[in-house]
Amino acid sequence: MAKKKRLRLIAEMARKVRAYRELKSRPRESQKYALDHETMRRPLTGKMLPVLAWQDVRRESRLFSLLAGMRLFGVGRMFTRKSWLEDHNEPSFWQITKVKVDYTAENMDHGKAWGQILLIIFFFFSGKKESEMKEVDKVMYHDWRLIPKHMEHESSTLLCALSTSLPSCSTNQCPLLVISNITVSY
């Protein structure tokens, strides 16, 4: 005869409680990425930011610092990063489609944002742009910039013109389109 397996319900429940308490005691993103601007140190870890980042921290903003001051937290607006403008010839933007703000953070400058990357490379399926929403990464970096409304309008009209001029294609043979005639200067 096979041995009957002993149920250890209390031990299993204790394990779940310990895991839950560990999860709740973990520092939030707002605590993890907080920064003392006088000493350029993170209060939680005590680590100092690299010296090359100090200038960006003083001049540029984090994404949620920009979003917190906007209507509907900037949903529908376009943002870019300073490092993208320096590294690539083609401009690239994030168009924000969804924002989840950490309301416990001071000044509401932390959370998660989702959007679409626009104007580097487009994949067209049957003449339509693929609309895949992704989480915006590196939101805590101090190099985000808001794209002015008139430039948003220019890029959206260019995108509409290009999508109507391209022929339909099957999913196996979709052309890559690199846009390089829009310039962004700050």
- Of residues 151 and 72, more confidence is placed in 72
DSSP assignment letter at 130: -
Can you give the residue range of the structural domain that contains 170? 60-178
Encoded amino acid at 96, one letter:
I
Mean residue pLDDT of the chain comes to 71
Nearest to 63 by CA among 76, 46, 80: 80
Closest alpha carbon to 141 in 52, 43, 26, 13: 52
What is each CA distance from 2 to 5, 77, 165, in whole angstroms? 9, 65, 72
Residue 70 resides in a domain:
yes
Backbone phi, then psi, for 171, in 5-degree steps?
Answer: -70, -20
Greatest mean pLDDT among 27-31, 74-78, 178-182: 74-78
Q: Is residue 162 part of a domain?
A: yes
Nearest to 62 by CA among 39, 37, 44, 87: 37
Alpha helices (H) in the chain, listed in sequence order? 9-25, 29-32, 54-59, 63-68, 82-87, 149-165
Q: What is the largest CA-CA distance in the chain?
A: 79
| Cα–Cα dist 32/165, whole Å | 47
Query: Is 44 part of any domain?
Result: no
pLDDT digits (tens, 9 = 90+) for 117-139: 765 444 333 333 446 778 787 77
Q: What is the pLDDT of residues 105-119, one digit of tens each?
A: 777 777 777 777 765
At residue 19 the predicted structure's pLDDT band, cuts being 50, 70 and 90, is: very high
The answer to whether residues 120 and 89 touch, using CB atoms and an 8 Å cutoff, is no
Q: Looking at the domain assignment, is residue 55 inside a domain?
A: no
94 and 119 in contact (C-beta within 8 Å)? no
With respect to residue 157, please indicate whether it lies within any of the assigned structural domains: yes
Q: Do residues 77 and 151 make contact, with C-beta atoms less than 8 angstroms apart?
A: no
Question: Looking at the 3D structure of the chain, how many domains does it have?
Answer: 1
Whether residue 35 lies inside any domain: the answer is no
- 43 domain-assigned: no
Distance CA 120, CA 91 (A): 6
- pLDDT digit string (tens) for 75-98? 888 888 877 777 766 667 788 888
Instruction: List the structure tokens of 68.
Output: 């917190």
Q: Is residue 101 part of a domain?
A: yes
